[in-house]
Amino acid sequence: MTRHALCAEPTHSVWDRSLAPRLRIESGDEVEIPCVDASGGQVWPGMSTEEYLRIDRSRIHALTGPIWIEGAEPGDVLQVDVMATRHSGWGWSSVVEGLGFLKDRFREPYLFHWHLEGEFSASLDPAIVPLRPFLGVMGVARAEDGAFRTRPPGPFGGNLDVRELCAGSRLYLPVYNPGALFSCGDGHAAQGDGEVCINGIECPLDVTLRFYLHKSQALSGPLIESSEESAPDLSSDAWVVVETGTDLAAAARAATGRMVDLLVSRWGFSEVHAYILCSVAMKLRLSQVVNEPVHTVSAAIAKQILPQRQLFPISPR
C-alpha cells in the first residue's frame, strides 16, 4: 500500500471525463487530500452576507481530482474507504434566494459562521450541534462526453450529500471510464437529512481515503457500508414532527416548516437560525409510503442537540 498526498488545488467544478488525471494510484493505495470548502476558498471566517453574495457560484463545488486508479475499466466497482476526516475549526452555512427546500419562505440572503470545537459546535446558540464530517461530493467521471455541472448527483455518485458517509464508512461506485477518474470535495462538518437550507456546515476538510478496485462487478448505483464508529454519541431520543399528504415532497416540506416553527416558538431561535439548524441536524424520514393516497413523513431533531424543554408541562391536578 502506498500513501499519496494530493494538494486540493487546482480544483474543478464540472464532471468531465476528458479532464487529465492529477494522480495515478494502485488499488489499495491511500490518498491524503486537504479539500477546500465548497466555495473553493471564496468564503472566509467573518465574511459578510453582502460579500458572500458576490462569490462566483460557478466555482461551486471546487472538487479535487481526478484520481486515476490503475486497471479500472467500465463495469468495475470502485471502493472508497473514508479513513479519517479533520475539519479546521471553522465552517459556514447560507441561505440563498431561490434555493433551498423552503425557498418560498426564506428569501433573504444570509451567511452564518460556525466555530467548530472537536466533535461539537456551540455557535448556533442554544443548540449544541454534533459534528460528523463527511464529503458531500465523491464520484467518478460520468459515462457521457461533455462537461456537466456538479449539482445533480447520479449513479456515478457526485453530490450525494448522504450524511452516513463519515469516517469509518465505505462508498462503492460503478466505474464508467478507464481509470475511474475519482474526484471529491464539498466538505460538511455536519449535515441533516435533506440539507434543507441548501448547505450543511460547509468547511475545508482534510480527508484520508483508501481505494480498492473490484473487477467486473454488477452495481447500478452508489452503495454505502456505513459506520458510526467515529461519530459523537447521539441518542435516538428526539422531537419528531409528523406530516401526512398525498405528495411526498410537499409533506416533507410541511414537516420541515413545522420543525422550523417549533424551534422558533419553543426554543427561541430566529427563523433563519432554525432553518439552518434543520439543515445541519434534522433527520427526514419516509415513515409510510403505502397507505395510498396519503403518506407520512417525519422530521426529527435529537433531544440532546437542544436545551431540555417540556413543551406541554403537566400541571398537578
Residue 88 binds its own copies, judged by CB under 8 A: no
Rounded least distance, CB 131 to its own copies, Å: 16
Q: Which of 219, 204, 237 is nearest to 79 (CA)?
A: 219
Shortest spacing between CB 148 and its own copies, in angstroms: 11
Beta partners for residue 113, in sequence order: 92
For its own copies, the binding residue among 48, 58, 216, 291 (CB under 8 A) is 291
| Among 88, 208, 230, 287, interactor with its own copies by CB under 8 A | 287
Site track 119-138 with its own copies (rule: CB under 8 A), x = hit: --------------------
Q: Is 249 in the site for its own copies (CB under 8 A)?
A: yes
Piece of 30-38, 41-49, 201-209, 241-249 that binds its own copies (CB under 8 A): 241-249
CA distance 234 to 199: 21
Instruction: Please identify, using beta-carbon distances, which residue of 18 and 288 lies nearer to its own copies.
Output: 288
Name which position in 32, 86, 178, 212 contacts its own copies (CB under 8 A). 212
50 sits in which H/E element: helix 49-52
Closer CB to its own copies, residue 87 or residue 163? Answer: 163
Give bridge partners of residue 159 from the DSSP assignment.
137
Find the shortest distance in angstroms from Cβ 67 to its own copies.
18
The three grid cell numbers given for residue 1, joined into one nine-digit string:
500500500
Q: Any contact of residue 99 with its own copies (CB under 8 A)?
A: yes
- Quick one: which of 100, 133, 174, 185 contacts its own copies (CB under 8 A)? 100
Q: Is 37 in the site for its own copies (CB under 8 A)?
A: no
- What secondary structure does DSSP assign to 243-294, as a single string? EEES-HHHHHHHHHHHHHHHHHHHH---HHHHHHHHHHH-EEEEEE--STT-
CB atoms < 10 A from the CB of 177, how many?
Answer: 18
Residue 46: CB minimum distance to its own copies, A: 26
Alpha carbon distance 137, 151 (integer Å): 9
Residues 101-120 that bind its own copies (CB under 8 A): 101
Among 119, 242, 271, 304, binds its own copies (CB under 8 A): 242
Q: 158 to 187, contacts with its own copies by CB under 8 A?
A: 159-164, 172
Q: Which stretch binds its own copies (CB under 8 A): 15-23, 62-70, 121-129, 148-156?
A: 148-156
109 close to 49: Cβ distance less than 8 angstroms: yes
The verdict on 214 binding its own copies (CB under 8 A) reads yes
Ramachandran category for residue 149: left, alpha or beta (phi over 0 → left; psi -120 to 50 → alpha): beta
Sign of CA dihedral 240, 242, 247, 253: negative
Q: Render the burial of 39-62: b for 16+ CB within 10 Å, e for the rest.
A: bbebbeeeeeeeebeebeeebbbb
Residue 308 binds its own copies, judged by CB under 8 A: no
Number of residues that bind its own copies (CB under 8 A): 76
